Amino acid sequence: MNMYRQALDSLRPIVAAIVVTAGAFALFVAASGYPAVEALMLVGKGAFGSGFAWQNTLSRAAPIMFTALCVAVPARAGMVIIGGEGALALGGLAAAMVGVWWASRPVVMVLAGMALAAWVTGGLWIGISGWLRYRRGVNETISSLLLAYIGQAVFNFLVEGWLRDPASLNKPSTAPLDSRDMIGNIPGMEVHWGLAWGVLACLAAWWLLRHTVFGFAIDIVGGNPRAAKMTGLPVGRLMLAASVLGGGFAGLAGMFEVAAVQGCANADLMAGYGYQGILVSFAARHHPLGVIAGAILIGGLGASNSLLQRHLDLPDAAAQVLQGLLFVSLLAFETLNRRGGRHA
């Protein structure tokens, strides 16, 4: 019973936020001279109104689950990492290169190699921020953001230079993966396997943070690093581990973009998934299971944006307004609902 009440309690601010957002968005749409009620119906229809809409939503949500974990995991250790975009790009590039170099090996080995390369590259990249924080006292938010810019520049330098496939004339890319090594769709759906792995990654992160000693220690570090140090926890190493783990997830997002969508690494990897992940993680209070819902919400907004534009000629900016309203109210109602202390 108590569990149900807890679940209901945590749902209440979400429902309130959605109601307020819907009202505010309807006013905004009406004020701009578009039909408000129809717009609201289309938001629902475009995101969740049909089997096609659901698959549209879930396809868009898949990469954001990984990039949100890149924020959520370090956040449990008290760090605000916002540079997932760079880790995604470099992880994707590493995966693409392993895919090209190992093309003659068995498929399972190629994919495992790609995932590992992406994980390690992304992890090391965000790990730099973690290391700078605990060794040099550099603010990890700033350093991870700046490293994202550096990562993207390195990515462009390599893809437009040494690693460029000479056949990619007007769109510099790495050599394409063998179609044999591409990750396909989940049977019966028009959604690639990255979605299933994304959900699995969120579940794994939840289990790790909630049900292991490591996760408990990280929570303590995040709650009060000094107290954690007093109790003898290796605070620095735990922070480093959390950032490496988070970066690894962002790297995997890049790997799935390469192996399930693009088929090679090029500038399209940097489509903003890393930044959308920040939004999702904060809205989910850095809870890995909340990340699943948050990512689906962002994916749904993308899908309904598409329908709003096509059916009402609303500009893309309207969907940005809707997304902004929704996340601000989610955070606001969450704050109002909090009766002191963190509850995860």
Partner 1 sequence: MKEMKYSASRRNWLRMMAALGAGAVSQFIPDGVRQAMAASKLVVGAIYVGAKDDFGYNQSQAEAAAALRKLPGVRVVEEERVPETIAVQKTMEAMVNEDGAGMVFATSFGYFSPYVLKVAQEYPSVDFSHCGGLWKPGMPKNAGSFFGYIDECVYLNGMAAAYASKSKKLGFVAAKPIPQVLRNINAFLLGARSVNPACTVSVIFTGDWSLPVKEAEASNSLVDQGVDVLTCHVDSPKVVIETAERRGIYCCGYHVNQAVLAPKGYLTGAEWNWETPYTILVNNAMAGKPMINFLRGGLKEGFVRTSPFGPAVSAKAKQHSLAVKARMMAGDFVIFKGPLLDNSGKTVIPAGVVQAQRDEVLESMNYLVDGVIGHV
Least Å from the CB of residue 121 to partner 1:
20
Provide φ and ψ at 185, rounded to 5°.
-90, 155
Query: Which residue in the set 1, 3, 31, 170 belongs to the binding site for partner 1 (CB under 8 A)?
Result: 170
Q: Is 169 in the site for partner 1 (CB under 8 A)?
A: yes
Q: Is 287 in the site for partner 1 (CB under 8 A)?
A: no
- How far apart are the C-alpha atoms of 249 and 144, rounded to whole Å? 15
Number of residues that bind partner 1 (CB under 8 A): 32
Do residues 93 and 159 make contact, with C-beta atoms less than 8 angstroms apart? Answer: yes
Do residues 78 and 229 make contact, with C-beta atoms less than 8 angstroms apart? Answer: no
Least Å from the CB of residue 171 to partner 1:
6
Q: Contact letters (x/-) for partner 1, 58-97, by CB under 8 A?
A: -xx-------------------------------------
In DSSP terms, which residues pair with 185 in a beta bridge?
Answer: 192
Buried b (16+ CB within 10 A) or exposed e, 70-91: bbbbbbbbbbbbbbbbbbbbbb
Query: Which residue in the set 39, 43, 56, 247 belongs to the binding site for partner 1 (CB under 8 A)?
Result: 56
Q: Is 262 in the site for partner 1 (CB under 8 A)?
A: yes
Q: Which residue stretch of 95-103, 104-112, 227-235, 302-310 sits at the interface with partner 1 (rule: CB under 8 A)?
A: 302-310
Q: How many CB atoms neighbour CB 11 within 10 A?
A: 10
- How far apart are the C-alpha atoms of 174 and 93, rounded to whole Å? 8
* Assigned token pair, 201: 């990654």
Q: Which residues bind partner 1 (CB under 8 A)?
A: 50, 52, 56, 59-60, 156, 160, 169-172, 190, 192, 257, 261-263, 266-268, 271-272, 302-303, 306-307, 309-311, 313, 315-316
